[in-house]
Homo-oligomer: A and B are copies of this chain.
Amino acid sequence: MQKLAELLKAKKLKVTPQRLAIFNMLYNTTSHPSAETIYKSLQETHPTMSLATVYKTLDALQKAGLIQQLNVGEDSFRYDANVSSHPHVICLECNRVFDLESDILNDLRSKVASNTDFDLISEKVYLYGTCPECKESMKEE
């Protein structure tokens, strides 16, 4: 928590209980929650925090480069405290989102760079399918 407070201060963001709670939650999960999910799961510990504060905090953290926004094709955004440009795999059965290693994009990056003459800055890569667990439970039926 101390570490997160330092990260906020380094970006000249005031350290508030709300910000710490949101940042901390994102920092300790790989579930890529949405604003709504974050809001609901912090209801118990921060019952007075509003959804608008969640949105404003996520916006501030994102602008500071401390988190990133994902758009996996749902109707709302998800957030990730892993700010490296890494690909994600999404299970179409359970809707969970998993991280992949960034370096599996190296081949793609170099191919695109040589095919297009673009100066590439970033990328968003989402793969869709069925996760091992859901494959199992589908077999059983």
Contacts and interface: CB of A to CB of B under 8 A. Distances in A.
A122 interface: yes
Interface string A110-141: 01100111111111111111111001000000
A119 B108 contact: no
A130 B105 CA distance: 19
Contact of A127 (B101, B104, B120, B135): B120
Interface residues of A, number: 35
Q: Which of A91, A107, A119, A120 counts the most chain B CB atoms within 10 A?
A: A119
Contacts of A71: 71, 73
B116 A100 contact: yes
A108 B128 CA distance: 13
Interface of A: 71, 73, 87, 89, 91-92, 98, 100-101, 104-105, 107-109, 111-112, 115-132, 135
